[in-house]
Structure 1
């Protein structure tokens, strides 16, 4: 996907999330008016999900994170919301309906920006995460001409900067040298991130 197409999709997502937040406020107001619970795990998850993705889209426009990271967050929020929806049998029908619409919009975004494979893994119930290895990261670093091609970053799921390293020769070699010393920390951060995601999904699904 070209940068211009990514930007256009981010604009669409930003508008959709804005409307979703507005509908969320309308929904909670209706629930309060009808003397129904306006606070529950699912309602809180919906609110936090929308707010988190709005922040990530904003960070993308500010060029603080690549689209790959935005996609990862959409996948994560999709996982969490889907799991929460499946275990909240006693939730208000209106809240569940809104959550399903939100899931559908997340799914559309993920599929459009190239996350169909990740989405398929979720829908198949494959929520496991393979632990990254420091030795493998260094093997990829060496294999990519001592970090110049950024293969180690692709291995660690940092596709955005991996492409950056590939196009700029590892930031003219400076980034490649930096990674030589930073790889252990990068591997640790990625493993912690993956473990937190897996633990949260496991907790929500009870698996």
Structure 2
């Protein structure tokens, strides 16, 4: 499992705990499939921070679209990031946004593997 974890940079503690819990009862092939699925869906916190910062100069709400929050993305787009206040909040909370998204994707990947 440690070899697979090396392919997932910037793991948050919540993610690591969830991965250990979910993969503990998986076979080697299920673990491999899980890490391939999860690695493809996972978003790095730095990517979310970069996309959020683009909201200050380009288009607000891109980070919300990337995180699958289309309604919030449209709201940010139409209101200029809720007059930049929402964008500032997202800059402060970018790690939580990424971690929440990644946890959802982790559990979805585990369901797809069949665990």
TM-score, with length taken from structure 1:
0.35
Shift of 1:144: 2.3
Superposition CA RMSD, Å: 2.1
Q: Which runs of 4+ in 1 moved over 4 A?
A: none
1:128 to 37, 41, 49: 37
Indicate the residue corresponding to 2:22 in structure 1: none
Gaps of 5+ in 1: 1-126
In structure 2, stretches of 5+ residues that fail to align are 1-35
For the residues of structure 1 that align with 2:99 and 2:108, how far apart are their CA atoms? 14
Distance 1:170 1:148, change over 3 A: farther
| Structure 1 position 181 matched with structure 2 position 97 | no
Rg larger for: 1
Matches within 5 A, 1:92-131: 128-129=37-38, 130-131=41-42
Report the counterpart of residue 137 of structure 1 in structure 2.
48
Aligned length: 78
Q: Deviations over 1:119-157 (max 9, x none)?
A: xxxxxxxx9342101111111112222696111111211
- In structure 2, the CA distance between the partners of 1:191 and 1:146, relative to structure 1 (3 Å rule), is farther
C-alpha distance in 1 between matches for 2:57 and 2:95: 15
